[in-house]
Amino acid sequence: MKHSRKFAALAAASVLAMTLAACGGGGSGGGGGGNSGGLSGDAAANLDARGPITYVQGKDNSNVVRPLVDKWNASHPNEKVTFKEQSDKADQQHDDLVQNFQAKNASYDVVDVDVVWTAEFAAKGWLQPLKGKTAFDTTGFLPATVATATYKDTLYAAPQTSDGGILYYRKDLVPTPPKTWDEMMGMCPIAKKNNMDCYAGQFAQYEGLTVNAAEAINTAGGVIVGKDGKPAVNTPEAKAGLNNLVQAFKDGNIPKQAITYQEEQGRQSFEAGKLLFLRNWPYVYNLAKTDGSSVVKDKFGIAPLPGKDGPGASSLGGHNIAMSVYSKHKATAMDFMKFMTSQETEKFYATQGSLAPVRADLYADADLVKQLPYLPVLLTSIKNAVPRPVSPFYPAVTQAVQVNAYAALKGDKTVDQALTDMQAALGAAGSQ
Protein backbone atom coordinates (compact mmCIF):
# COMPACT_ATOMS: atom_id res chain seq x y z
CA MET A 1 0.00 0.00 0.00
CA LYS A 2 1.28 3.30 -1.05
CA HIS A 3 0.39 5.42 1.92
CA SER A 4 1.84 3.05 4.45
CA ARG A 5 5.18 3.07 2.67
CA LYS A 6 5.16 6.83 2.53
CA PHE A 7 4.55 7.12 6.21
CA ALA A 8 7.18 4.53 6.94
CA ALA A 9 9.65 6.72 5.11
CA LEU A 10 8.64 9.72 7.16
CA ALA A 11 8.82 7.75 10.34
CA ALA A 12 12.42 6.91 9.68
CA ALA A 13 13.16 10.52 10.43
CA SER A 14 11.53 10.31 13.80
CA VAL A 15 13.16 9.08 16.92
CA LEU A 16 10.23 6.86 17.60
CA ALA A 17 11.69 3.64 16.35
CA MET A 18 8.74 1.53 17.28
CA THR A 19 6.36 3.42 15.05
CA LEU A 20 8.52 2.34 12.15
CA ALA A 21 7.48 -1.21 12.64
CA ALA A 22 3.84 -0.11 12.74
CA CYS A 23 4.12 1.13 9.23
CA GLY A 24 6.58 -1.40 7.90
CA GLY A 25 4.09 -4.12 8.62
CA GLY A 26 1.19 -1.92 7.71
CA GLY A 27 -0.09 -3.91 4.79
CA SER A 28 -3.51 -4.18 6.36
CA GLY A 29 -6.41 -3.17 4.20
CA GLY A 30 -9.33 -5.33 3.34
CA GLY A 31 -9.99 -9.00 3.08
CA GLY A 32 -9.91 -9.91 6.72
CA GLY A 33 -10.59 -13.24 8.27
CA GLY A 34 -11.18 -15.10 5.04
CA ASN A 35 -9.00 -18.13 4.64
CA SER A 36 -10.36 -20.02 1.72
CA GLY A 37 -7.24 -21.30 0.04
CA GLY A 38 -5.02 -24.00 1.48
CA LEU A 39 -7.33 -25.15 4.24
CA SER A 40 -7.29 -28.76 3.26
CA GLY A 41 -3.53 -28.51 2.89
CA ASP A 42 -2.99 -27.33 6.44
CA ALA A 43 -5.46 -29.79 7.84
CA ALA A 44 -3.75 -32.66 6.05
CA ALA A 45 -0.21 -31.82 7.14
CA ASN A 46 1.85 -33.12 10.04
CA LEU A 47 -0.72 -35.71 11.06
CA ASP A 48 1.80 -38.26 12.32
CA ALA A 49 4.38 -35.84 13.63
CA ARG A 50 5.31 -35.91 17.29
CA GLY A 51 7.18 -33.42 19.37
CA PRO A 52 6.77 -30.64 21.91
CA ILE A 53 3.52 -28.67 21.74
CA THR A 54 1.86 -25.71 23.42
CA TYR A 55 -1.50 -25.70 25.13
CA VAL A 56 -3.35 -22.39 25.24
CA GLN A 57 -6.08 -21.65 27.73
CA GLY A 58 -7.62 -18.77 29.65
CA LYS A 59 -6.57 -17.98 33.17
CA ASP A 60 -6.04 -21.15 35.20
CA ASN A 61 -7.89 -19.72 38.18
CA SER A 62 -8.09 -22.76 40.37
CA ASN A 63 -4.75 -24.28 39.40
CA VAL A 64 -6.14 -27.17 37.41
CA VAL A 65 -4.07 -27.09 34.26
CA ARG A 66 -0.57 -26.80 35.68
CA PRO A 67 -0.64 -30.08 37.66
CA LEU A 68 -2.11 -31.84 34.63
CA VAL A 69 0.58 -30.51 32.32
CA ASP A 70 3.25 -31.54 34.82
CA LYS A 71 1.78 -35.01 34.95
CA TRP A 72 1.78 -35.27 31.15
CA ASN A 73 5.31 -33.99 30.86
CA ALA A 74 6.59 -36.51 33.40
CA SER A 75 5.45 -39.36 31.18
CA HIS A 76 6.18 -37.73 27.81
CA PRO A 77 9.76 -36.43 28.00
CA ASN A 78 10.00 -36.04 24.22
CA GLU A 79 6.59 -34.53 23.68
CA LYS A 80 6.52 -31.90 26.39
CA VAL A 81 3.61 -29.51 26.65
CA THR A 82 4.12 -25.85 27.39
CA PHE A 83 1.16 -24.14 29.00
CA LYS A 84 0.35 -20.66 27.66
CA GLU A 85 -2.05 -18.92 29.97
CA GLN A 86 -4.34 -16.27 28.47
CA SER A 87 -6.43 -13.53 30.00
CA ASP A 88 -9.41 -14.23 32.21
CA LYS A 89 -11.58 -12.04 30.01
CA ALA A 90 -13.44 -13.93 27.31
CA ASP A 91 -13.09 -11.19 24.69
CA GLN A 92 -9.35 -11.04 25.15
CA GLN A 93 -8.98 -14.81 24.91
CA HIS A 94 -10.95 -14.67 21.69
CA ASP A 95 -8.82 -11.85 20.24
CA ASP A 96 -5.60 -13.59 21.21
CA LEU A 97 -6.67 -16.78 19.45
CA VAL A 98 -7.81 -14.88 16.35
CA GLN A 99 -4.52 -13.06 16.17
CA ASN A 100 -2.43 -16.19 16.42
CA PHE A 101 -4.56 -18.18 14.03
CA GLN A 102 -4.45 -15.36 11.50
CA ALA A 103 -0.69 -15.38 11.78
CA LYS A 104 -0.79 -19.18 11.34
CA ASN A 105 1.17 -19.42 14.53
CA ALA A 106 2.37 -23.01 14.72
CA SER A 107 3.03 -22.71 18.43
CA TYR A 108 -0.67 -22.59 19.28
CA ASP A 109 -1.07 -26.34 18.94
CA VAL A 110 -3.92 -27.15 21.26
CA VAL A 111 -6.36 -24.45 22.32
CA ASP A 112 -9.23 -24.17 24.73
CA VAL A 113 -12.24 -22.40 23.22
CA ASP A 114 -15.51 -21.19 24.69
CA VAL A 115 -18.41 -23.28 23.41
CA VAL A 116 -19.88 -20.32 21.53
CA TRP A 117 -16.73 -19.65 19.47
CA THR A 118 -16.16 -23.15 18.21
CA ALA A 119 -18.26 -22.59 15.09
CA GLU A 120 -16.56 -19.32 14.20
CA PHE A 121 -13.06 -20.82 14.42
CA ALA A 122 -14.17 -23.92 12.53
CA ALA A 123 -15.71 -21.81 9.74
CA LYS A 124 -12.51 -19.83 9.47
CA GLY A 125 -10.64 -23.05 8.87
CA TRP A 126 -8.47 -22.81 11.92
CA LEU A 127 -9.54 -25.95 13.77
CA GLN A 128 -8.46 -29.42 12.75
CA PRO A 129 -11.57 -31.45 11.82
CA LEU A 130 -11.68 -34.43 14.15
CA LYS A 131 -12.08 -37.13 11.55
CA GLY A 132 -9.89 -39.60 9.73
CA LYS A 133 -6.48 -39.78 11.34
CA THR A 134 -7.44 -37.17 13.87
CA ALA A 135 -10.76 -38.76 14.80
CA PHE A 136 -11.89 -38.31 18.37
CA ASP A 137 -14.05 -40.84 20.20
CA THR A 138 -16.91 -39.12 22.03
CA THR A 139 -18.41 -42.25 23.58
CA GLY A 140 -19.46 -41.52 27.12
CA PHE A 141 -19.65 -37.77 26.57
CA LEU A 142 -22.92 -35.99 27.22
CA PRO A 143 -24.50 -35.47 23.76
CA ALA A 144 -25.36 -31.82 24.31
CA THR A 145 -21.72 -31.02 25.01
CA VAL A 146 -20.69 -32.79 21.81
CA ALA A 147 -23.21 -30.69 19.90
CA THR A 148 -21.43 -27.49 20.99
CA ALA A 149 -18.27 -28.79 19.30
CA THR A 150 -19.95 -29.78 16.06
CA TYR A 151 -20.21 -27.50 13.04
CA LYS A 152 -21.77 -28.55 9.72
CA ASP A 153 -21.91 -32.17 10.93
CA THR A 154 -18.20 -32.31 11.60
CA LEU A 155 -16.64 -32.48 15.03
CA TYR A 156 -14.05 -29.72 15.41
CA ALA A 157 -13.30 -29.93 19.11
CA ALA A 158 -13.63 -32.19 22.10
CA PRO A 159 -15.87 -31.16 24.98
CA GLN A 160 -13.75 -30.35 27.99
CA THR A 161 -15.88 -28.80 30.71
CA SER A 162 -19.56 -27.97 30.91
CA ASP A 163 -22.00 -25.86 32.86
CA GLY A 164 -25.76 -25.78 33.03
CA GLY A 165 -28.55 -23.88 34.73
CA ILE A 166 -30.27 -25.26 37.80
CA LEU A 167 -33.24 -24.18 39.87
CA TYR A 168 -32.61 -22.99 43.41
CA TYR A 169 -35.69 -23.11 45.61
CA ARG A 170 -36.61 -22.54 49.24
CA LYS A 171 -37.17 -26.01 50.61
CA ASP A 172 -38.55 -24.58 53.85
CA LEU A 173 -41.44 -23.07 51.91
CA VAL A 174 -41.77 -25.47 48.99
CA PRO A 175 -41.24 -29.06 50.12
CA THR A 176 -41.19 -30.54 46.62
CA PRO A 177 -39.67 -28.48 43.85
CA PRO A 178 -41.81 -27.77 40.76
CA LYS A 179 -41.24 -30.05 37.80
CA THR A 180 -42.88 -27.86 35.20
CA TRP A 181 -43.06 -24.17 34.51
CA ASP A 182 -46.82 -24.09 35.11
CA GLU A 183 -46.40 -25.87 38.40
CA MET A 184 -43.82 -23.29 39.46
CA MET A 185 -46.08 -20.41 38.50
CA GLY A 186 -48.82 -22.12 40.50
CA MET A 187 -46.58 -21.91 43.58
CA CYS A 188 -46.11 -18.17 43.35
CA PRO A 189 -48.90 -17.40 45.84
CA ILE A 190 -46.60 -18.98 48.45
CA ALA A 191 -44.07 -16.29 47.68
CA LYS A 192 -46.71 -13.61 47.92
CA LYS A 193 -47.87 -14.90 51.29
CA ASN A 194 -44.30 -14.69 52.56
CA ASN A 195 -43.77 -11.26 51.10
CA MET A 196 -41.20 -12.51 48.66
CA ASP A 197 -40.66 -12.41 44.93
CA CYS A 198 -41.42 -15.62 43.12
CA TYR A 199 -38.97 -16.35 40.31
CA ALA A 200 -35.93 -14.74 38.71
CA GLY A 201 -33.25 -15.62 36.21
CA GLN A 202 -30.95 -13.36 34.21
CA PHE A 203 -33.00 -10.85 32.25
CA ALA A 204 -30.79 -7.79 31.84
CA GLN A 205 -29.77 -7.22 28.24
CA TYR A 206 -26.51 -9.18 28.02
CA GLU A 207 -25.33 -12.69 27.26
CA GLY A 208 -27.26 -14.07 30.24
CA LEU A 209 -30.53 -13.06 28.58
CA THR A 210 -29.64 -15.07 25.49
CA VAL A 211 -29.12 -18.02 27.79
CA ASN A 212 -32.45 -17.52 29.58
CA ALA A 213 -34.47 -16.73 26.47
CA ALA A 214 -32.99 -19.73 24.68
CA GLU A 215 -33.90 -21.91 27.65
CA ALA A 216 -37.49 -20.66 27.62
CA ILE A 217 -37.80 -21.20 23.87
CA ASN A 218 -36.10 -24.60 23.83
CA THR A 219 -38.05 -25.79 26.85
CA ALA A 220 -41.31 -25.11 25.07
CA GLY A 221 -40.13 -27.15 22.10
CA GLY A 222 -38.98 -24.27 19.92
CA VAL A 223 -35.55 -23.67 18.45
CA ILE A 224 -33.57 -20.54 17.65
CA VAL A 225 -31.53 -21.95 14.80
CA GLY A 226 -32.69 -25.11 13.06
CA LYS A 227 -30.67 -28.22 12.27
CA ASP A 228 -29.79 -26.81 8.84
CA GLY A 229 -28.24 -23.75 10.48
CA LYS A 230 -31.07 -21.49 9.35
CA PRO A 231 -32.96 -19.39 11.88
CA ALA A 232 -36.31 -20.92 12.77
CA VAL A 233 -37.42 -18.99 15.80
CA ASN A 234 -40.74 -17.67 14.49
CA THR A 235 -42.80 -20.69 15.51
CA PRO A 236 -45.75 -21.28 17.85
CA GLU A 237 -43.48 -23.29 20.18
CA ALA A 238 -40.92 -20.53 20.46
CA LYS A 239 -43.72 -18.07 20.96
CA ALA A 240 -45.17 -20.12 23.80
CA GLY A 241 -41.73 -20.27 25.40
CA LEU A 242 -40.94 -16.58 25.29
CA ASN A 243 -44.50 -15.84 26.26
CA ASN A 244 -44.02 -17.77 29.51
CA LEU A 245 -41.40 -15.25 30.58
CA VAL A 246 -43.35 -12.24 29.30
CA GLN A 247 -46.50 -13.39 31.09
CA ALA A 248 -44.61 -14.01 34.33
CA PHE A 249 -43.29 -10.46 34.20
CA LYS A 250 -46.83 -9.18 33.60
CA ASP A 251 -48.26 -11.20 36.49
CA GLY A 252 -45.50 -10.07 38.79
CA ASN A 253 -44.35 -13.68 39.23
CA ILE A 254 -41.05 -12.41 37.99
CA PRO A 255 -40.43 -9.19 39.95
CA LYS A 256 -40.09 -6.12 37.78
CA GLN A 257 -36.57 -5.44 39.03
CA ALA A 258 -35.46 -8.75 37.51
CA ILE A 259 -35.23 -6.87 34.21
CA THR A 260 -31.94 -5.55 35.62
CA TYR A 261 -30.70 -8.90 36.94
CA GLN A 262 -27.49 -10.55 35.95
CA GLU A 263 -26.29 -13.61 37.87
CA GLU A 264 -25.20 -11.66 40.91
CA GLN A 265 -28.34 -9.62 41.54
CA GLY A 266 -30.47 -12.74 41.49
CA ARG A 267 -28.11 -14.49 43.87
CA GLN A 268 -28.15 -11.47 46.15
CA SER A 269 -31.94 -11.44 46.27
CA PHE A 270 -32.11 -15.19 46.87
CA GLU A 271 -29.50 -15.08 49.63
CA ALA A 272 -31.36 -12.21 51.27
CA GLY A 273 -34.43 -14.45 51.47
CA LYS A 274 -36.37 -12.28 49.06
CA LEU A 275 -36.76 -14.80 46.27
CA LEU A 276 -38.52 -18.17 46.20
CA PHE A 277 -37.11 -19.60 42.95
CA LEU A 278 -33.89 -18.70 41.19
CA ARG A 279 -32.44 -19.94 37.91
CA ASN A 280 -28.67 -19.75 38.16
CA TRP A 281 -25.41 -21.64 37.63
CA PRO A 282 -23.96 -24.14 40.12
CA TYR A 283 -21.56 -21.53 41.55
CA VAL A 284 -24.37 -20.11 43.68
CA TYR A 285 -24.60 -23.34 45.66
CA ASN A 286 -21.50 -22.92 47.79
CA LEU A 287 -21.84 -19.16 48.13
CA ALA A 288 -25.43 -19.37 49.36
CA LYS A 289 -24.27 -21.91 51.94
CA THR A 290 -21.32 -19.90 53.21
CA ASP A 291 -21.91 -16.17 52.61
CA GLY A 292 -22.08 -14.13 55.80
CA SER A 293 -25.15 -12.26 54.68
CA SER A 294 -26.96 -15.33 53.37
CA VAL A 295 -30.12 -16.02 55.37
CA VAL A 296 -30.96 -19.15 53.43
CA LYS A 297 -27.89 -21.24 54.31
CA ASP A 298 -29.87 -24.35 55.27
CA LYS A 299 -33.17 -23.42 53.74
CA PHE A 300 -32.63 -24.00 50.05
CA GLY A 301 -32.62 -26.93 47.73
CA ILE A 302 -31.79 -27.46 44.08
CA ALA A 303 -33.67 -29.05 41.22
CA PRO A 304 -33.50 -29.32 37.45
CA LEU A 305 -34.98 -26.37 35.60
CA PRO A 306 -38.75 -26.75 35.32
CA GLY A 307 -39.89 -27.66 31.83
CA LYS A 308 -43.01 -28.24 29.81
CA ASP A 309 -43.84 -31.64 31.22
CA GLY A 310 -40.46 -32.72 32.57
CA PRO A 311 -37.09 -31.07 33.13
CA GLY A 312 -36.49 -27.90 31.16
CA ALA A 313 -33.87 -27.39 28.47
CA SER A 314 -30.87 -25.62 29.95
CA SER A 315 -28.43 -23.65 27.85
CA LEU A 316 -24.85 -24.80 28.06
CA GLY A 317 -21.75 -23.06 29.26
CA GLY A 318 -18.26 -24.53 29.34
CA HIS A 319 -15.29 -24.98 27.06
CA ASN A 320 -14.07 -27.25 24.29
CA ILE A 321 -10.52 -28.29 23.50
CA ALA A 322 -9.37 -28.15 19.88
CA MET A 323 -6.30 -28.55 17.71
CA SER A 324 -4.94 -25.90 15.40
CA VAL A 325 -4.62 -26.86 11.72
CA TYR A 326 -1.22 -25.18 11.83
CA SER A 327 0.15 -27.48 14.53
CA LYS A 328 3.40 -29.16 13.56
CA HIS A 329 2.92 -32.14 15.86
CA LYS A 330 -0.63 -33.28 15.45
CA ALA A 331 -0.16 -36.82 16.72
CA THR A 332 1.08 -35.46 20.04
CA ALA A 333 -1.67 -32.85 20.05
CA MET A 334 -4.25 -35.58 19.54
CA ASP A 335 -2.92 -37.61 22.45
CA PHE A 336 -2.85 -34.55 24.66
CA MET A 337 -6.46 -33.75 23.79
CA LYS A 338 -7.44 -37.27 24.78
CA PHE A 339 -5.46 -36.93 27.99
CA MET A 340 -7.14 -33.61 28.82
CA THR A 341 -10.61 -35.14 28.43
CA SER A 342 -9.93 -38.52 30.01
CA GLN A 343 -12.06 -39.86 32.82
CA GLU A 344 -9.32 -39.20 35.35
CA THR A 345 -8.65 -35.65 34.15
CA GLU A 346 -12.33 -34.82 34.11
CA LYS A 347 -12.59 -35.94 37.71
CA PHE A 348 -9.66 -33.74 38.59
CA TYR A 349 -11.37 -30.73 36.96
CA ALA A 350 -14.35 -31.32 39.21
CA THR A 351 -12.50 -31.91 42.48
CA GLN A 352 -9.87 -29.24 41.98
CA GLY A 353 -11.76 -26.57 40.07
CA SER A 354 -15.46 -27.30 40.59
CA LEU A 355 -15.72 -27.55 36.80
CA ALA A 356 -18.60 -29.70 35.63
CA PRO A 357 -17.50 -32.86 33.79
CA VAL A 358 -18.58 -33.68 30.26
CA ARG A 359 -18.62 -37.42 30.90
CA ALA A 360 -21.94 -38.76 32.14
CA ASP A 361 -20.73 -41.46 34.53
CA LEU A 362 -18.71 -39.01 36.64
CA TYR A 363 -21.95 -37.47 37.82
CA ALA A 364 -22.63 -40.67 39.70
CA ASP A 365 -19.15 -40.82 41.26
CA ALA A 366 -19.69 -41.01 45.02
CA ASP A 367 -16.59 -38.96 45.94
CA LEU A 368 -17.52 -36.24 43.54
CA VAL A 369 -21.15 -36.05 44.59
CA LYS A 370 -20.04 -35.78 48.18
CA GLN A 371 -17.91 -32.78 47.32
CA LEU A 372 -20.30 -31.21 44.81
CA PRO A 373 -23.80 -32.20 45.96
CA TYR A 374 -25.42 -30.46 43.01
CA LEU A 375 -23.96 -32.90 40.46
CA PRO A 376 -26.98 -35.24 40.06
CA VAL A 377 -29.23 -32.25 39.48
CA LEU A 378 -26.75 -30.71 37.09
CA LEU A 379 -26.60 -33.98 35.17
CA THR A 380 -30.34 -33.86 34.53
CA SER A 381 -29.90 -30.28 33.45
CA ILE A 382 -27.08 -31.00 31.02
CA LYS A 383 -28.75 -34.16 29.71
CA ASN A 384 -31.72 -32.06 28.70
CA ALA A 385 -29.63 -29.14 27.58
CA VAL A 386 -29.69 -27.47 24.18
CA PRO A 387 -26.53 -25.61 23.14
CA ARG A 388 -26.82 -21.94 22.32
CA PRO A 389 -27.01 -21.47 18.53
CA VAL A 390 -23.88 -22.86 16.90
CA SER A 391 -23.03 -20.04 14.50
CA PRO A 392 -19.86 -18.48 13.13
CA PHE A 393 -21.59 -15.14 13.71
CA TYR A 394 -22.30 -15.72 17.34
CA PRO A 395 -21.84 -12.07 18.40
CA ALA A 396 -24.52 -11.02 15.90
CA VAL A 397 -26.74 -13.96 16.85
CA THR A 398 -26.68 -13.20 20.55
CA GLN A 399 -27.34 -9.53 19.80
CA ALA A 400 -30.41 -10.48 17.75
CA VAL A 401 -31.75 -12.66 20.55
CA GLN A 402 -31.01 -10.26 23.39
CA VAL A 403 -32.38 -7.08 21.88
CA ASN A 404 -35.67 -8.61 20.80
CA ALA A 405 -36.25 -10.79 23.83
CA TYR A 406 -35.52 -7.80 26.04
CA ALA A 407 -38.04 -5.65 24.18
CA ALA A 408 -40.66 -8.38 24.64
CA LEU A 409 -39.93 -8.77 28.37
CA LYS A 410 -40.26 -5.04 28.89
CA GLY A 411 -43.52 -5.01 26.98
CA ASP A 412 -42.14 -2.69 24.31
CA LYS A 413 -43.01 -5.29 21.68
CA THR A 414 -45.49 -8.10 21.43
CA VAL A 415 -44.05 -11.58 21.57
CA ASP A 416 -45.11 -12.04 17.95
CA GLN A 417 -43.29 -8.94 16.82
CA ALA A 418 -40.21 -9.81 18.87
CA LEU A 419 -39.92 -13.24 17.29
CA THR A 420 -40.54 -11.91 13.77
CA ASP A 421 -37.77 -9.37 14.32
CA MET A 422 -35.52 -11.97 15.92
CA GLN A 423 -35.98 -14.25 12.96
CA ALA A 424 -35.16 -11.45 10.53
CA ALA A 425 -32.17 -10.27 12.55
CA LEU A 426 -30.80 -13.80 12.77
CA GLY A 427 -31.15 -14.04 9.01
CA ALA A 428 -29.28 -10.81 8.50
CA ALA A 429 -26.57 -11.91 10.94
CA GLY A 430 -25.31 -14.58 8.58
CA SER A 431 -25.16 -12.55 5.42
CA GLN A 432 -23.98 -9.13 6.44
Is 123 among the residues that bind other proteins (CB under 8 A)? yes
Is 291 among the residues that bind other proteins (CB under 8 A)? yes
Q: Rounded CA gap, 198 and 189, in Å?
A: 8
Residue from 45, 49, 147, 259 in contact with other proteins (CB under 8 A):
259
Is 293 among the residues that bind other proteins (CB under 8 A)? yes
Check residue 364 and report its DSSP letter. Answer: G
Q: Rounded CA gap, 52 and 50, in Å?
A: 7
| Residue 326: closest CA among 83, 46, 31 | 46
> What residues from 128 to 157 belong to the interface with other proteins (CB under 8 A)?
151-152
Q: Rounded CA gap, 251 and 234, in Å?
A: 24
> What residues from 200 to 229 belong to the interface with other proteins (CB under 8 A)?
204-206, 229
> What residues from 392 to 421 belong to the interface with other proteins (CB under 8 A)?
392-393, 395-396, 399-404, 406-407, 410, 413, 421
CA geometry: angle 93, 388, 185, nearest 5 deg: 125
Q: What is the phi-psi region of residue 38: left when phi exceeds 0, alpha when psi lies from -120 to 50, beta otherwise?
A: left
Give 312 or 317: the residue with its C-beta nearer to other proteins.
317
**Cβ atoms of residues 357 and 346 within 8 Å:** yes
Residue from 5, 133, 256, 297 in contact with other proteins (CB under 8 A):
256
Is 195 among the residues that bind other proteins (CB under 8 A)? no
| C-alpha 414 chain-centroid distance | 29
Q: Could you count the other beta carbons within 10 Å of the beta carbon of residue 177?
A: 20
Q: Rounded CA gap, 308 and 326, in Å?
A: 46
Is 272 among the residues that bind other proteins (CB under 8 A)? yes
Residue from 73, 235, 268, 351 in contact with other proteins (CB under 8 A):
268
Q: Contact region for other proteins (CB under 8 A) — 12-20, 180-188, 337-345, 364-372? A: 12-20
| Amino acid making up residue 164 | G
How many residues of this chain interact with other proteins, rule: CB under 8 A? 101
Residue from 43, 57, 68, 125 in contact with other proteins (CB under 8 A):
125
Q: Contact region for other proteins (CB under 8 A) — 43-51, 99-107, 183-191, 331-339? A: 99-107
| C-alpha 353 chain-centroid distance | 17
Is 102 among the residues that bind other proteins (CB under 8 A)? yes
Give 246 or 331: the residue with its C-beta nearer to other proteins.
246
> What residues from 320 to 379 belong to the interface with other proteins (CB under 8 A)?
none
Residue from 18, 139, 227, 370 in contact with other proteins (CB under 8 A):
18
Cα→Cα distances 356→283, 302, 334, Å: 11, 16, 22
356 burial (CB, 10 Å; 0-12 / 13-18 / 19+) is: buried
| C-alpha 78 chain-centroid distance | 34
Q: Rounded CA gap, 408 and 65, in Å?
A: 42
Is 263 among the residues that bind other proteins (CB under 8 A)? yes
Binding mask 34-63 for other proteins (x = CB under 8 A): xxx--x-------------------xxx--
Give 364 or 428: the residue with its C-beta nearer to other proteins.
428
Residue from 44, 66, 95, 192 in contact with other proteins (CB under 8 A):
95
